[in-house]
Structure 1
Amino acid sequence: MGWLEASNWQLHVSLIVLLSMHMKAASLFSMLIKSTGELSPVSRESNGESTVPAPTQKPMWCRCNRHCRADSVNSTCRTDGYCFTTVEDEESGGHTIASGCLHFEGLDIQCRDMLIIHERRTLSIACCRDKDFCNENLHPALPSLRNSDCVEGDIGHRALLISVIVCNILLVLLIIFWYFRHKRQATRPHYCIGVEQDETYFAPGETLKDSTQWSQSTGSGSSFPMVEITIARQIEMVKQTGKGRYGEVWMGKWREEKVAVKVFFATEEASWLKETEIYETVLLRHENILGFIAADIKCTGTLTELYLITDYHEHGSLYDYLKSTPLDPKAMLNLAYSSASGLCHLHMEIFGTQVKPAIAHRDLKSKNILVKKDGTCCIADLGLAVKWFSDKNGVDVPPKKLVGTKRYMAPEVLDKRLNRNHFQSYLMADMYSFGLILWEVARRCVSEGIVDKYQLPYHDLLPTDPSCKDMWEIVCRKKLRPALPSRWRSDECLRQMEKLMTECWAHDPASRLTALRVKKTLAKMMESRDITI
């Protein structure tokens, strides 16, 4: 792994900057320690204290207090130097005034500097030699500025010390992070051999579809590892094919191979993360569930785009396909069976060395089912889906109960009596929606030379964009369902489809068919007509 490898260059730059900060802080700290050792406790002539002129040798009398010598009499002393008065610290925390005599020898230093006298700290000293007892009138001032300077110096030392410690801690954490990242990448298998760093290795003639099929054979929910890392950088956006509440859908090209790119708005990061998490579920991959390829974040200047890359199906959604394509019984059963097969796999919990949780879609509709080139369907748009593991016996569902498309909402969702703690409730709500989808498909099947125009469920009972109140009035209070054409009763296949859909959209969730029961019923219908599954 190169030191400036593309995937790690930001990490190395950060490491160099932190090392530089650490060395600079240590240097400043050393300089400051040296400089403080050279500073005197008080500044000298800059503080306004004059130098002491050379004294004469004539003895004089001084007052003494707390600094009286053994030969002192009546608090007086005699000296050939100076009389002095000092302000000193008390052990109790206060200040006291003291006075006495200074001998000529060494008095220049004593009168100019703050010294430790008799184990007391002298804060200020004033000297005189004008006359006998001249120190009676001396009043040395407390050096307030000196104290603040000491405090400021202490704060500066502490701040610098803290900054050095923080830099050291960050440096250690960064080194630990870099070590484990390097170790993890070193143990990861390499699929890219002898090609440019930004390219993905494929065997001659191998396509993106082949790589995802390899992933399916391993049982993984996600796609070929190196594809997921690099494909998003190499996609060319060709045309927009749709737009929803979370973002836009584009048809893109990767090495002349078509892919679908769902571009989420930056404000919908939570939806992007949720859908990516569902698609990466172990053992989710199935021929009737939209094939997931990769998820990526692309930053272009100030714009952040969240990509979800999947297989591309040129027929588009089942909604679009039914609007333009009439069906014969075989095509109708292919669409219905493959949709039920995908939903059955989604709902099913699989046990083994790996465990696939049961998943409820929660937004089933004809616009969220795609039609493949061979006339079969695959379930898409898993952004609102929820998982359930039987061993945990819990459903991770956000507080909001009303989710999905209002036109396809089950009665128990509309009147807010869905049991959120019982996962079967979510599966049965999916089955209600699936019953409406079967109705949409059956309407487009030709019988006796007649085919109905495509319509959405409840088209004759509701406005184009119905409210929850509108839906509740029709579905819950009046308990109405989409109208069933009379021509269906004269066609055996459509009559069986009618029975199937009405058992799916029953008002009582417990009376509805499961996805597995619907799949098996449709399989029998296909076998009776010699249609290969």
Structure 2
Amino acid sequence: MRRRNIIGQVCDTPKSYDNVMHVGLRKVTFKWQRGNKIGEGQYGKVYTCINVDTGELMAMKEIRFQPNDHKTIKETADELKIFEGIKHPNLVRYFGVELHREEMYIFMEYCDEGTLEEVSRLGLQEHVIRLYSKQITVAINVLHEHGIVHRDIKGANIFLTSSGLIKLGDFGCSVKLKNNAQTMPGEVNSTLGTAAYMAPEVITRAKGEGHGRAADIWSLGCVVIEMVTGKRPWHEYEHNFQIMYKVGMGHKPPIPERLSPEGKDFLSHCLESEPRMRWTASQLLDHAFVKVCTDEE
């Protein structure tokens, strides 16, 4: 078996890969040492990682592929290209990449307080939900202003820091739109994401119209429900097809009774069945429910 090194340093990207990607990836220039595995999913494994030069703790995503698997490399490069152009306190920061023959290492900001899914398991107090909802909405608005649809917003993809910041991450499903100004439902024509957080138009793809930025807003509403109840929407259903049938037939996840009138109204604008009637992230930032001050202000 090939020995797996835990200490690395940036290597030159093979020309064959550069030719396939047609993009210049930001390559790291520091030595690093891998720590413990902290996550694993469809898009690879995630480890803690230390910058040996500075001592900074980071997260490192390892994506494995077959030699000369240009398709995987190109798809990953597209994801990184989305990452590179944006810096914001409420988005997980991307530092760079190492590309090797059979794996790619992606270096990102490490969020030391885990995921929103984890901290919400017992439900959160409303004043905390309002603070978190504002920061998530800000992050979504930044993406949408850059013409990016996240497509997989859920508690497991939202991270917390010890300073109290919320950071939206895991852009594995994200897509860059051709027209930044367009906000209509037909911006995207593929079905990706997590069923419990999917908007109706993502599931039904009515008349082949696809979906757009409004689908992220529905997912935001589902995350707010998750913060209130401690459970994902539609938790009573075991199978994705059951959830997709319910949402596809026009049902909405119930709005929690213990939420304030402002919170219920905020959710009503997120969970509007007709995507054209759903509020945008920019509109939601003017809603009373998220008119709260954060440490960044």
What TM-score results when the alignment is normalised by the length of structure 2? 0.80
Counting only pairs closer than 5 Å after superposition, residues 383-532 of structure 1 correspond to structure 2 as 383-390=172-179, 401-417=190-206, 419-420=209-210, 425-443=211-229, 454-460=230-236, 462-463=237-238, 465-467=239-241, 470-477=242-249, 479-488=250-259, 494-521=260-287, 525-526=291-292
Rounded to whole Å, the distance in 1 between the matches of 2:176 and 2:224 is: 25
Q: Does 1:252 align with 2:46?
A: no
Rounded to whole Å, the distance in 2 between the matches of 1:442 and 1:473 is: 24
Q: Does 1:358 align with 2:156?
A: no
Rounded to whole Å, the distance in 2 between the matches of 1:391 and 1:271 is: 21
Rounded to whole Å, the distance in 2 between the matches of 1:271 and 1:249 is: 18
Distance 1:366 1:270, change over 3 A: farther
- Counterpart of 1:123? none
The Cα RMSD (Å) is 3.2
What TM-score results when the alignment is normalised by the length of structure 1? 0.46
Check the 8 A contact 1:358/1:387 in 2, yes or no: yes
Superimposed CA distance per residue, residues 112-171 of structure 1 (whole angstroms, 9 cap, x where no aligned partner): xxxxxxxxxxxxxxxxxxxxxxxxxxxxxxxxxxxxxxxxxxxxxxxxxxxxxxxxxxxx
Question: SS of 2:124's equivalent?
Answer: coil
What displacement does 1:334 show?
Answer: 1.8
Counting only pairs closer than 5 Å after superposition, residues 78-477 of structure 1 correspond to structure 2 as 228-231=27-30, 234-255=31-52, 256-266=55-65, 268-281=72-85, 284-299=86-101, 304-323=102-121, 327-348=124-145, 357-390=146-179, 401-417=190-206, 419-420=209-210, 425-443=211-229, 454-460=230-236, 462-463=237-238, 465-467=239-241, 470-477=242-249
Distance 1:251 1:229, change over 3 A: closer
What displacement does 1:509 show?
Answer: 0.6
Distance 1:432 1:394, change over 3 A: closer
Check the 8 A contact 2:11/2:100 in 1, yes or no: no
What displacement does 1:259 show?
Answer: 0.3
Check the 8 A contact 2:225/2:232 in 1, yes or no: no
Query: Relative contact order (C-alpha < 8 Å, sep 6+): which is higher?
Result: 2
| Percent identity (aligned) | 21
What displacement does 1:261 show?
Answer: 0.5
What displacement does 1:474 show?
Answer: 0.8
- Counterpart of 2:3? none
Rounded to whole Å, the distance in 2 between the matches of 1:311 and 1:391 is: 27
Q: One-letter code of the match for 1:294?
A: G
Rounded to whole Å, the distance in 2 between the matches of 1:336 and 1:398 is: 25
Question: SS of 1:473's equivalent?
Answer: helix
Rounded to whole Å, the distance in 2 between the matches of 1:392 and 1:497 is: 29
Distance 1:394 1:415, change over 3 A: closer
Distance 1:487 1:524, change over 3 A: closer
Question: SS of 2:233's equivalent?
Answer: coil
Rounded to whole Å, the distance in 1 between the matches of 2:200 and 2:84 is: 31
Unaligned runs of at least 5 residues, structure 2: 1-9, 16-23, 67-71
Q: One-letter code of the match for 1:476?
A: G
Rounded to whole Å, the distance in 1 between the matches of 2:244 and 2:119 is: 29
Greater percentage in helix = 1
Check the 8 A contact 1:236/1:254 in 2, yes or no: yes
